[in-house]
Structure 1
C-alpha cells in the first residue's frame, strides 16, 4: 500500500478519536490519527480534577440531549459503561465510585490516556500530532487531508474533533466547518455544563459569592438535585451546570432551596418556634449568609408568630421554586461540553456514518448528542467511537 494511503483517517485524538482509531486498527485497518495538539487526550487529562470521570453507572439514553432523543440508543447499548469498566479493569487501573454513579480513577487521568494509546498501538495506529489540518478534500471515493506538510488519503474519514468548549485546550469549530463542506446540517452549538450569569436585581446575589447549598434546580421538565454555588458573576455548581444544558436565553430557572422540607413546614415553624424570625428558621438548614439574603428578599420582618399564614405560605412557595432569569452563560471558555453539533438526521445511529457521503463518519462531541454531568459524555465518546471503528 502506498505510504500516504490509509484505510481510514481519524481527525482528533480525544476520547472518541482514540477509541475509534484503536477499534478500527485492531480490526486490521490501516489507520492514521491526526491532531493539531502535540499529545492526545488533553480533555481527558484535565477531567474530573485530573482523575477522569470516565463513565457513569447510570448511563441511559434519556440522560442525553439531542434533537433526536433516540439517536444515542444504538451505540450506547452496544458499548456500555460495563464494557468500558471491563477495559479499565483489564489494564489494572484502580477506580472508585463517587456520588450519583460517577466513576473516577484512584490515580491519574493519564492512566486512561495511556490505556487508549496502548490500545491504538495494539492496532498499529499511526499517530501524527502537533500540526494543524490545512485542507480536506474528497474526490473519486477518496478523502485527501493536508497535515504537517504532507497530503494523506483514505476512503474513510472520521470527524472526531469535538466542539468549541474549552478553547484554551485548542478546541475549535472545525467539525462544523467540515460537516457543512460535505453537506451535513449543523444544529447551532451552544455552551453546556456551564455557569450561568445574572444581572440587574438578581446581581445582588453576588454578595453570596462562595456560598454553596444543596438544592433542586428546574428548567422546563428537567430537574436536578445537587449543590448550587453562588459566584461573583452568577450561579455555578453541579446543579447549575446540569440545568444549563436545558436553558435558553429568555427562559427562567427555578431553585428549590429547601428540597428536604415537606409542604407546610413554615406554618409548622410558626407553631413550634413562634419567637424566631424567618432568617433564624432558614439558617437551621442552610448557610447563614444565604438565609439572610433570602429572608431579606422575602420581606417578612419580625417574629413568625406575627406573620399571616397566607404570607408564610407564599414565602414557602417562593423558597421551593425561586425564579432566576440568567442573562447568559460564561461561554465556551467555561463550558465542559457543547449542546448541538452535527445533526443526527444525516448520520446512521448504528455506524455514525454520513448518509449522503460514503466513507464519512462523525463521533463524540462533534455530534448533536450531549450527556449529563458526571461521565456521560465520555461514555458517549467511547460508544460512538467504537461504533464507527467497527464499521470502517
Structure 2
C-alpha cells in the first residue's frame, strides 16, 4: 500500500493497518461476525456458524495468492470467500454453503474498510490531542512574548507568539470535534446483500445488522450505503481539512525557522533534519511531512467527491476508485499529525531573536510609525487574548473526551 517515496511521509501503524494481511484479517472478522449474527437469529445452524468462525483466521490463508487472484475476479472479496468456503469445507462440508450467506462483496469490503479506518482515526485523534496540548503549553508560556506579525508576506505589526500558537491550536481542536462526529456517522456496518434488500435473510436483516454492529463496535446503519456515500465521504473531507490546518502550522513554522528569520526551530536530535553536504543546516523535517501531506490530500478528497455519482444500487468503477484513494488519504493525515505531534512539544522558540527582528524593523522607521505599530509592549495587549483563546480551545478538546462521546443513532 506504499512506496519507498511515501513510506517516510506516513507512519508504521497506518502502513500496517492497510497491509494486505491486516485488511484480509478485517474481512474475515466480518465473515465471522456475519455467521455469529445469523446463527443468533436462526438463519443458519449454530454448528455451521462455529465452523465458519473457527476458520476465519488469517494465518490459515494464502494472502498473496488471494491478492493476485483479485485482479482477475474484480474484487478482493471473491477469491477470499472462495478460499474461505473451501477451507470451511475441509472441516465441515455442510457448513461451507452458509459462508457469506445473503451478503455481497461490497458488504465485506466496506465493513472491513470501516474497521481499519476506525483504528486509523483513533490514532489520528490521539496525535491531534498531543499536538493541541503542546500548542496550548506554548500559548500560555509565550502569551506576552512579542513577535512580528506578517501579512501578505511582509512585516505588519506586533502580536504575541502565544496568541499565534493559540491560533494554530484552534482549528486542530475543531477538527477533533468534527472528526469525532463524522466518524460516529460514517463508521458503520455495511450489509445490504446483492441490491440492498437483504432478500435472502427472510426479514431478519435488521436484526443481523444490529448484532454485527454490537459485535464489531460499529454503527448499525438503518440503510445500506452501497451507493449512498455521503457520510463516508464526509469523513474523508474532514481528514482533508485537518491536513490543511496542519499544513498551515507547518508553513508558518518553516518560514519562521529560516536562517534569516531564526525565530523557531524544530527539535534537534541525532539523525533528524541533517544535511550530508551542509552540516550547518537543520532541515524542518516535520514541517516537510506536513506540507507534503497538504499538497497531496486535496487530490485525494477531490477524488472521493468525484466518485459519488454511482450507478443505481451498485457502482461500476467509481466505488472501486474511491477504495483506492482512501488508504493514501489516511496515510497523509496520520503522517502529518504524527510529525507535528512529535515536533511541537520540543519546538525551540528564540524570543531574543523575535525581539531583535522587531527592533531592527523599528529602527528603520520614522519614530511616530515605530511607536504606533512596532512597540513590543503591544504584545501585552495580545497576552490576555492568548490565554482566553487557549482556554476556549481546551474546552473544545474536553468535549471529545471518551466519557462525553456523542452517540449517533442510526
TM-score of the pair, normalised by structure 1 = 0.25
The higher radius of gyration belongs to 2
Q: Which has the higher contact order (CA 8 A, sep 6+)?
A: 1
Greater per-residue helix proportion: 2
